[in-house]
Structure 1
């Protein structure tokens, strides 16, 4: 409230009118330092961050972009916004994109991969980057659901060519809506800044001189968003610490059960989220009936079979249809990623309750373990 009050009192709600006092610019500087990244660009949503990153990386009509079949639909819609088409890839038991299925889905038209760090669960970025390097593909990390999370010493979102964060209501830090593009590449940053701001060419900004001007859109964030995010940034690491401790307590109890398996994690030493895997669907259903547990297939909106805009393959105008620009058949079906559905049907995500005392989480852990003993 105090941060918002200062912005309102100054009367400069646009970051570009706030000058050296810009809360948004200060947030970007502090986030760059936290991530050890060269560039951070605040935008108005995680979706806008993905679209800006793809546009900045030169993804466009005729290109295929590999996306996991378990993510928020924005991951698949972002390629359409730049004229490319999404190709769906199975996840593995880590709930993130399966590197083996990436290899199977690559075609001569594949240009990029968007690995998604779902629910604070990191992808196998070593494998993804190895494939991308070998096949000359661009990696745009969707770290919207993993702000601040690390993978083997690197911050999620800083490993690929560019990364995308979301700051909507459900994320690790939030401003209701908001997002950011993360990159260590000067040209990607310049192009993302140009794309996200239709008036970029009138700003006096470093790096703009190294890229020919092109028409952008308006994905700018206001000073109100920047102020809220700046005020919240200091809570990020304490939040992740609480999640890590609670995962340790919960996994210690659940690992004693003979009826479930802790889902594999691509960086267990830094894990801040927890899911468990059952052999039988009915056991997962029963477990999900308890407080603090949800079976992932039941979350619906993150499952590819519910992505109606993707299955419809329809654009706002028939001549602006990326599927026609692809000049080949791109098809989707409810069974195309059956392995993903099977994993989601048998996997339960457990809330780690960072807002609750650790002792209470320990009690919950013992109760859940007793249910599966």
Structure 2
């Protein structure tokens, strides 16, 4: 994550001194709007809409894309639970799909999980690792499915010359404390589709029909929610955006260096990557779970099965299919019975038990990370 410092403080001070903390406050263009304009230019996408969390971005994107009751949405079995919760918020149900050794949704299992009720695929770019978007978009085109990219853990990352989150019909970013852009909480919807943007803007703001901007289509106004951000969030993001690409550049350099060192041992493999030339996240895979567990004992290394919260078996409200009210439970009106079990994505569990994430330490000087790389390589040689 980028460091929070003087630039954020200065920008926040300007907002506070002005006394206008609301984003929508008449015709004046505030920091949030400026952030969105700069973000679209930097990412090469037509529209960006800032919302109050990555979860809200996912929900807004699904609603804007027309996903609703009775629909099935394919989500990976390794992600933060919000990816699976988001379809429920619009009345759809999540169908869990295995990941492959790249730790992203497996295109082959996507094909197996498609039913007549499938309406969308939600590929997740986990840990700054990119999905096989060529394969996913080809499948989606063949089956006329929407692609809603969860790029919450990969803000700004590139896949074959395009920024993730801008490839599908819509994408979602998170600006949570631990993300590549950090405003504590926050998110964004990205899209090149005018209608999806119009609908997302309506959905995220219950008062959208009172705003001074003109909608880009003849979309009828519908009831929305309040998922807006304040100018305080927009100010932090506006100050942080120039730090994004330098951060990714540092990660790429460290990935190259760390991969070179760890590749010297035959006791592990560098996990496959769907765009290795632009990799900014690093994981390694072992033949045996115990070897991965032992490797995770070193500083800056974690075995993914042990992180728990990102593994589908620990998504208690999903696995038990419970919502706040029984009559608002999307599983009750699904077109077929949807069942979940702890072993339904056993391939994912096996991969996670043998895979470790290696921190690239963008906040540390390169010599420090070079020393750590040599120590890790020596420890398993």
> Normalization by structure 1: what TM-score?
0.99
Say yes or no: does 1:342 pair with 2:350. Answer: yes
Q: 1:327 Cα shift?
A: 3.8
What do residues 142-191 of structure 1 show as CA deviations (whole Å, max 9, x unaligned)?
Answer: 00000000000000000000000000100001110000000000000000
3-state SS of 1:111 partner: strand
> Is 1:169–2:177 an aligned residue pair?
yes
Question: Which stretch of the first structure deviates more once superposed, 130-139 or 311-320?
Answer: 311-320
* Deviation string, structure 1 residues 276-308 (Cα, Å, up to 9, x no partner): 000011100100000000000000000000000
Runs of 4+ in 1 over 4 A off after TM superposition: none
- Aligned match for 1:13, one of 11, 16, 21: 21
Distance 2:95 2:327 in 1: 21
For residues 163 and 128 of structure 1, the distance between their equivalents in structure 2, rounded to whole angstroms, comes to 14
SS in 1 for 2:28: helix
Partner of 1:300: 308
Rounded Cα–Cα distance in structure 1 between residues aligned with 2:211 and 2:26: 13
Q: 1:289 matched to which residue of 2? A: 297
The alpha-carbon deviation at position 209 of structure 1 amounts to 4.8
Matched, 1:72 2:80: yes
Pair 1:224 & 2:232 matched: yes
Partners of 1:148 and 1:198 lie apart in 2 by: 29
Q: Could you tell me whether the CA contact under 8 Å between 1:193 and 1:200 is conserved in 2? A: yes
8 A Cα contact 1:90 1:339, kept in partner: yes
Per-residue CA distance 1:219-271 (angstroms, 9 max, x = gap): 00110000000000011011001100001110000011111000000000000
Unmatched tracts of structure 2, length 5 or more: 1-8
Q: Check if 1:3 corresponds to 2:8.
A: no
Distance 2:226 2:235 in 1: 19
Distance 1:185 1:114 in 2: 17
Q: Counterpart in 2 of 1:97?
A: 105
| C-alpha distance in structure 2 between counterparts of 1:189 and 1:329, whole Å | 33
Task: State the alpha-carbon separation in 1 of the partners of residues 103 and 336 from structure 2.
Answer: 30
Aligned-CA RMSD value:
0.8
* Count of aligned positions: 373
Judge which range, 202-211 or 163-172, deviates more. 202-211
| 1:138 pairs with one of 130, 133, 146 | 146
Q: Which runs of 5+ in 1 are unaligned?
A: none
